[in-house]
């Protein structure tokens, strides 16, 4: 394990950057409110201890200050406790306290935790210890026979849903995709609702996406045919799952949206947090976190969900590495994993993922499609590429070759593109991102010289 | 399968298998299923067979920024300051936390003093901040350095950076290359030419003036005005012949600007012509018991006066003769008055009675002259004692004029004068005057402001009546004052006649003040760290 090389390293480990703290905020309003509290003014009796605890009293509008304490060494990301009435999580006080601590200007000195903070931390650590010694909790209670019957029942429903969907696709192809342009969203929304009833959320999501394609600009018939064909492929995969190899059958199950557990063996490594970003629809916020194993060279994806308007629970500081265990979900070509036990608080690292050329990057995506034909993209790190304007868009061009990857149109909006361009300044950079059939989506960039990764999402 | 068969598939799918024969063998399946089967294979094959695009023209690399990198703590601080972007509609009470965005200007100034390079990944946020606030632009662009200019060429949102940086739109090294300078001056766009002229004037004033002279007679009137304005920088007696010629310009605005520039050169022929004219209007009456200044305003505005920039037609509501007098006295070098009025010093002259209600006109013109000529002795005399009430001051000058006069005084004296003003008159009129004081506020100014705030609190009014001064104090008080202010953050018992809740709000306001001062001290320390 490479030793941390940060200049303001203190005995309690390394302080985070403001960006890393602000990435924990559940929304923009909290980010702003937290920034305002990240100064000495309202704080008193602040401190942090060697085991990753930060605490302080924040003066609010009332006479009694709020007691705020954060455990940054928790195995499942930072944990927070604040006596304020906010239902945001973390609240602005916790964010402000962490910013003050990240500022590293003596606002949060090393100290002995006061009793109120010690109590909470002690309680948490004790519970965690009990959980660890007790081992994994026994599989969901109830008898296995009932569970099997439930699973069978669900499989029957999914089968019925898949057959209905096949019928609808066949009808569409019979009358022509041109008819989809006039029928609009309604048709697809209704079909998606049928798939929800059939307990196949993966199919439902894909069907809902179809509704947006006819209005997505030139070339839409080809895109609609592609997506219809892939849904057809998934239906057929499900209907013939008995004939598929086990790993591919598991992939089909996960694409259909059946629940699975991260059953793979726990792999301990120094996991570098490469990117964390959220996507939201009207029901759900999905957080994706990419990790890179320094020793194994593996890339894994952590997913965390939040109900509409609430931040997903898991948050990790981008650019830092944590010594932790992860275990994978089943299925061929699946990178999803769960974060298990975390052994140390996150620390900086000089390690960067091994990079490839643009030609190798698309080849990687192609290879991955062999295991999972439904993959939209594949995580790759591009070595020595230069962002260059290309018509209305941008591309990442090999510094030492003639090939380039176009950036996905979704990457053209937002501030990430300009951070990428600014960090490059026309010089070669290392870029981590998702490479797929829609183009390349950059998620983090390392400058040409030494330096930490800079998030682009 | 070839690419064309994918096209055929799409066409068949678009029209429908009922209307179009499927281009694939159905092999016992119904036509739509056969089409979907083939399309699925094709889709995955097409995706798996993706090839990279061919590289477009690579951008020219940005000029290297050789300045040292920010210390890591300062870098984090900048990120926090920039994250506090103000958004519309977030009004309401300001609370106890500092206004981070307001600290950005002084952070930038301090970083520029140290000569640090901007972290590239923060350049977009810096440029966005400066885009919304023109007052931030000079410091931001100085800090942002060559890479920001490079970026601005790629993003139209940041085009302002090219306009407001000397050489931003053009290559700076061009200055050393006479052929390139000549080409740009002859063929460049107007903005590029202004930029070139300004950059050149800053480096070599005469060369810039000579360059302008080569094309002067062929420039359009509005362009001449802008070019002439750029001579303000580095103005010297060497510019006089050129400016004298510009007095005969076809455009009235160009003539007026040339006259204004010449009157700022006390040794110029125009200044001495104006001096002669002004002196002939003002004399000294020794026959009175008390020596008195007598004014005889000009009876006409002749062609010579007009050529020297005097505007003949007064604005509505003003008499012609007093209008002309004001312009003459404003453009005449102040040094002539001592000679004209019996060798008196400025403060003695200002104290002299003026006959027939001419005092306002004459003193007003002297104020404008003192500001234009940046004359400390006259400014001091016209300002009078800080404690004297505004309307009865020697110059009977307004607050706005006082603020301008103060700017001509040395920083220490300015702070002292404003401190005296605040001690005598309180804070309600001090805002404008505080704005011209050098920061951080020197003592006794800081003391005076804090005392006045304390008095305002004890008087029981709400702090937001003083929010302007409070905001200034947060940005301008010396951070070392913080310790002395700690006592004010406590919530004392509410005085009986106070506005309800006022003490709580004052405590909050002082907390924010102290917090901001502490933060500023930290910011400064972070920037000086090795």
**Residue-by-residue DSSP string for A254-317:** HHHT------SPPEEEEEEEEEEEEEE-SSEEEEEEEEEETTT--EEEEEEEEETTS--S----
Domain shared by A178 and A126, yes or no: no
Q: What is the pLDDT of residue B165?
A: 56
Q: What is the pLDDT of residue A180?
A: 77
Residue A60 lies in a domain: yes
Q: What is the pLDDT of residue A261?
A: 86
Domain shared by A249 and A272, yes or no: no
Q: What is the pLDDT of residue A136?
A: 52
CB contact under 8 A, A359 and B18: no
CB contact under 8 A, A395 and B53: yes
CB contact under 8 A, A425 and B61: yes
Check: complex ipTM more than 0.90: no
| Residue A437 sits at the chain B interface (C-beta within 8 Å) | yes
Domain shared by A107 and A41, yes or no: yes
Domain shared by A105 and A164, yes or no: no
Joined together, the tokens standing for residue B335 give 């040094």
The last residue of one of the domains, among A77, A111, A132, is A132
The stretches in chain B having pLDDT less than 70 are 1-4, 25-28, 84-96, 164-174, 389-397, 490-498, 529-530
Q: What is the pLDDT of residue A317?
A: 84
Nearest CA to A357 among A294, A431, A275, A424? A431
Residue A422 lies in a domain: yes
Q: Is A107 helix (H, G, I), strand (E, B) or coil?
A: coil
**Which of B20, B43, B98 has the most A C-beta neighbours within 10 Å, making it the best mutation to test the interface with A?**
B43
Domain shared by A77 and A119, yes or no: yes
Residue B494, CA distances (Å) to B230, B462, B514 in order: 58, 12, 21
Residue A9 lies in a domain: no
Residue A3 lies in a domain: no
Domain range holding A150?
144-256
Which letter, b or e, does each residue of A225-243 get, where b requires 16 or more Cβ atoms within 10 Å of its Cβ? Answer: bbbbbbbbbbbbbbeebee
Residue A353 lies in a domain: no
Q: Is A403 helix (H, G, I), strand (E, B) or coil?
A: strand
Distance from CA of A42 to the nearest CA of B (A): 7
Domain shared by A252 and A278, yes or no: no
| Residue B106 sits at the chain A interface (C-beta within 8 Å) | no
Strands A403-406 and A393-398: antiparallel
The last residue of one of the domains, among A132, A162, A187, is A132
For chain A, the domain total comes to 4
CB contact under 8 A, A226 and B39: yes
Q: What is the pLDDT of residue B290?
A: 79
SS3 content of chain A, % helix, strand, coil (to 5): 40, 25, 35
pTM score of the predicted model: 0.74
Domain shared by A60 and A80, yes or no: yes
Domain shared by A85 and A111, yes or no: yes
Residue A333 in contact with residue A251, Cβ under 8 Å? yes
The number of helix segments (H) and strand segments (E) in chain B equals 27, 3
Which letter, b or e, does each residue of B94-112 get, where b requires 16 or more Cβ atoms within 10 Å of its Cβ? Answer: bbbbbbbbbbbbbbbebbb
Residue A306 in contact with residue A361, Cβ under 8 Å? no
Residue B259, CA distances (Å) to B144, B366, B370, B407, B494 in order: 38, 17, 17, 23, 61
Domain shared by A117 and A165, yes or no: no
Q: At what angle do helices B100-114 and B72-83 cross, to 10 degrees?
A: 150
Residue B394 CB neighbours (<10 A): 18
Is cis: bond before A297, omega within 30 of 0? no
The last residue of one of the domains, among A91, A112, A132, is A132
Residue B357 in contact with residue B292, Cβ under 8 Å? no
Distance from CA of B13 to the nearest CA of A (A): 5
* Integer-rounded Cα radius of gyration of chain B: 33
- Nearest by CB to B98, which of A39, A369, A395? A39
Residue A324 lies in a domain: yes
Q: Is A400 helix (H, G, I), strand (E, B) or coil?
A: coil
CB contact under 8 A, A18 and B120: no
Residue A219 lies in a domain: yes
Residue A273 lies in a domain: yes
| Residue B39 sits at the chain A interface (C-beta within 8 Å) | yes
CB contact under 8 A, B52 and A358: yes
Domain shared by A338 and A374, yes or no: no
Interatomic CA distance for residues B160 and B191, integer angstroms: 11
Domain shared by A220 and A168, yes or no: yes
Q: What is the pLDDT of residue A161?
A: 95
The stretches in chain A having pLDDT less than 70 are 1-15, 40-41, 61, 74-77, 104-106, 131-142, 184, 308-309
Domain shared by A203 and A243, yes or no: yes
């Amino acid at each position: 394990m490479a030793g941390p090389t940060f200049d303001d390293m203190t005995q309690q480990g390394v302080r985070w950057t403001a960006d890393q703290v602000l990435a924990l905020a559940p929304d923009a309003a909290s980010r702003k409110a937290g920034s305002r509290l990240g100064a000495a003014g309202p704080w008193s009796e602040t401190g942090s201890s060697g085991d990753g605890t930060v605490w302080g009293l924040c003066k609010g509008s009332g006479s009694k200050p709020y007691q705020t304490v954060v455990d940054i060494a928790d195995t499942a990301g930072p944990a927070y406790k604040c006596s304020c009435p906010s239902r945001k999580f973390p609240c602005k006080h916790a964010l402000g306290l962490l910013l003050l601590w990240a500022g590293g200007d003596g606002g949060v000195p090393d100290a002995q935790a006061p009793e109120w903070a010690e109590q909470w931390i002690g309680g948490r650590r004790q519970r965690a210890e009990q959980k660890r010694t007790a081992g994994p909790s026994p599989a969901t209670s109830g008898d296995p026979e009932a569970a099997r019957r439930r699973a069978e029942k669900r499989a029957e429903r999914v089968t019925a849903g898949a057959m209905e969907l096949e019928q609808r696709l066949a009808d569409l192809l019979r009358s022509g995709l041109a008819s989809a342009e006039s029928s609009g969203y309604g048709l697809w929304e209704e079909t998606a609702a049928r798939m929800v009833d059939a307990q196949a959320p993966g199919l439902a999501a894909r069907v809902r996406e179809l509704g947006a394609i006819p209005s997505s600009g030139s070339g839409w018939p080809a895109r609609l045919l592609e997506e219809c064909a892939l849904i057809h492929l998934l239906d057929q995969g499900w209907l013939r799952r008995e004939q598929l190899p086990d790993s591919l059958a598991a992939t089909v199950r996960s694409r259909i949206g059946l629940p699975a557990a991260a059953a793979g063996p726990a792999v301990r490594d120094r996991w570098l947090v490469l990117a964390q970003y959220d996507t939201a629809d009207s029901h759900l916020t999905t957080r994706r976190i990419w990790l890179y194993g320094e020793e194994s060279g593996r890339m894994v994806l952590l997913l965390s969900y939040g109900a509409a308007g609430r931040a997903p629970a898991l948050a990790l500081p981008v650019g830092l590495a944590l010594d932790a265990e992860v275990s994978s979900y089943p299925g061929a070509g699946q990178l999803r994993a769960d974060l298990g036990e975390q052994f140390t608080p996150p620390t900086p690292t000089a390690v960067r993922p091994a990079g490839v050329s643009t030609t190798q990057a698309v080849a990687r995506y192609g290879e991955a499609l062999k295991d999972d034909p439904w993959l939209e993209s594949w995580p790759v790190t591009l070595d020595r590429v230069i962002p260059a304007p290309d018509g209305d868009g941008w591309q990442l061009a090999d510094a030492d070759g003639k090939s380039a990857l176009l950036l996905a149109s979704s990457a053209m909006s937002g501030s990430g593109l300009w951070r990428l361009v600014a960090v490059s300044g026309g010089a070669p950079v290392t870029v981590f991102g998702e490479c797929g059939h829609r183009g390349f989506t950059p998620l983090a960039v390392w400058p040409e010289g030494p330096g930490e990764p800079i998030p682009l999402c | 399968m070839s690419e064309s068969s994918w096209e055929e598939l799409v066409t068949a799918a678009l029209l429908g298998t009922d209307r179009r024969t499927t281009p694939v063998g159905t092999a016992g399946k119904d036509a739509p299923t056969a089409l979907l089967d083939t399309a699925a294979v094709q889709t995955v094959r097409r995706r798996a067979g993706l090839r990279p695009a061919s590289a477009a023209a690579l951008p020219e690399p940005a000029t290297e920024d050789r300045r040292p990198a920010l210390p890591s703590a300062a870098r984090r601080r900048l990120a926090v300051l920039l994250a506090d972007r103000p958004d519309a509609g977030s009004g309401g009470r300001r609370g106890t936390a500092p206004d981070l965005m307001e600290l950005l200007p002084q952070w930038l100034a301090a970083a520029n003093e140290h000569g640090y390079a901007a972290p590239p990944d923060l350049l977009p946020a810096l440029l966005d901040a400066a885009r919304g606030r023109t007052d931030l632009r000079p410091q931001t662009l100085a800090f942002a350095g060559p890479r920001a200019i490079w970026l601005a060429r790629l993003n139209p949102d940041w085009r302002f950076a090219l306009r407001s940086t000397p050489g931003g739109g053009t290559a700076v090294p061009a200055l050393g290359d006479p052929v390139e300078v000549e080409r740009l001056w002859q063929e460049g766009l107007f903005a590029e030419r202004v930029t070139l002229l300004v950059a050149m004037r800053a480096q070599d004033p005469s060369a810039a003036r000579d360059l302008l002279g080569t094309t002067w007679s062929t420039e359009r009137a509005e362009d001449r005005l802008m070019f002439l304005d750029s001579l303000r920088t580095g103005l010297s007696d060497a510019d006089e012949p050129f400016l004298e010629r510009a007095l005969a310009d076809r455009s009235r605005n160009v003539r007026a600007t040339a006259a204004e520039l010449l009157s700022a050169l006390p040794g110029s022929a125009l200044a001495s012509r104006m001096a002669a004219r002004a002196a002939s209007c003002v004399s000294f009456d020794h026959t009175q018991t008390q020596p008195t200044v007598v004014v005889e305003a000009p009876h006409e505005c002749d062609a010579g006066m007009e050529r020297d920039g005097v505007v003949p037609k007064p604005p509505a509501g003003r008499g012609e003769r007093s209008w002309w007098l004001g312009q003459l006295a404003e453009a005449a070098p102040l040094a002539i008055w001592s000679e004209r009025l019996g060798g008196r010093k400025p403060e003695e002259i200002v104290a002299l009675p003026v006959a027939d209600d001419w005092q306002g006109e004459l003193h007003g013109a002297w104020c404008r002259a003192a500001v234009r000529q940046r004359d400390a002795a006259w400014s001091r005399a016209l300002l009078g004692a800080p404690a004297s009430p505004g309307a009865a001051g020697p110059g009977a000058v307004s607050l706005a004029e006082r603020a301008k006069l103060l700017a001509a005084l040395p920083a220490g004296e300015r702070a002292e004068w404003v401190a005296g003003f605040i001690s005598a008159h309180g804070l309600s009129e001090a805002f404008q005057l505080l704005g011209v004081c050098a920061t951080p506020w020197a003592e006794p100014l800081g003391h005076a402001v804090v005392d006045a705030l304390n008095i305002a609190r004890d008087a029981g009014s709400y702090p937001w009546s003083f929010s302007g001064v409070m905001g200034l104090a947060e940005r301008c008080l010396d951070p070392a004052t913080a310790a002395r202010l700690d006592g004010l953050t406590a919530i004392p018992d509410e005085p009986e006649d106070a506005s309800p809740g006022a003490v709580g709000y004052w405590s909050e306001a002082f907390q924010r003040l102290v917090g901001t001062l502490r933060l500023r001290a930290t910011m400064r320390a972070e920037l000086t760290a090795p």
